[in-house]
A and B are shown apart, each in its own frame.
Chain A
Amino acid sequence: GAVVSQHPSRVICKSGTSVKIECRSLDFQATTMFWYRQFPKQSLMLMATSNEGSKATYEQGVEKDKFLINHASLTLSTLTVTSAHPEDSSFYICSASARTGEEKLFFGSGTQLSVL
């Protein structure tokens, strides 16, 4: 089946630093990628949707200048948490779909971000 590779799996960083998370589709071309955030005991919340070669669409309440998303190729999307603060500590996970309208999503394994 389709595989989405996400790394790093865990990041511990100091407050004020920026963290980049990568999400790669290994055996298919991902025209659309989604980024989610999950706080403990809460549901996955969609942060943004990115389509290859265009700007990401952010969900209400998600700061686009803080969470920079780049989807420069059909196999790679990155999420950069800029100037991370302790409240940004969360589980971040990406997913990819093979084509627009494809309902089946393939998830990365997630990144646990801890900001000290």
Chain B
Amino acid sequence: RKEVEQDPGPFNVPEGATVAFNCTYSNSASQSFFWYRQDCRKEPKLLMSVYSSGNEDGRFTAQLNRASQYISLLIRDSKLSDSATYLCVVNMEYGNKLVFGAGTILRVKS
């Protein structure tokens, strides 16, 4: 089983749609969780950290379910500029080492 698993997509959605991504992780002792965004052949950029209580940043909402070991990202009112690959990232317990999921491709179309 992969340490971090994501649905690769692609998710093709119209502008204005709401889209949700899920991610599961294998290590129950994982300490922290993030969503990164990566555009083609560019470096990943931190979108948001994910907290147990859930957190929101504008159109983006992240949730963490420790019991089920999954993380979600909800994007509301999708924009064309949201088109990218979204990476689920987990900091495993053993040191400051991030493990990246393979990413979920989002394509927002007009």
Contacts of B96 in A (CB 8 A): 32, 97, 100-103
Evaluate whether A42 and B102 lie within 8 angstroms (CB atoms) in the complex, with A49-B97, A108-B43, A110-B43 already known. Answer: yes
B: contact size bracket: 20 to 34
Interface residue total, chain A, C-beta cutoff 8 A: 24
Quick check: B98 and A105 within 8 Å, CB to CB? yes
> A110: which of B4, B41, B98, B100 is its contact (CB, 8 Å)?
B41
Interface class of chain B by DSSP: loop
Interface string of A82-111 (1 = CB under 8 A from B): 000000000101000100111111011110
Interface of A, secondary structure class, is loop
Interface residues of B (CB under 8 A from A): 4, 8, 32, 41-46, 87, 91, 95-103
Residue ranges of A at the interface with B (Cβ–Cβ < 8 Å): 32, 34, 36, 41-46, 49, 91, 93, 97, 100-105, 107-110, 112
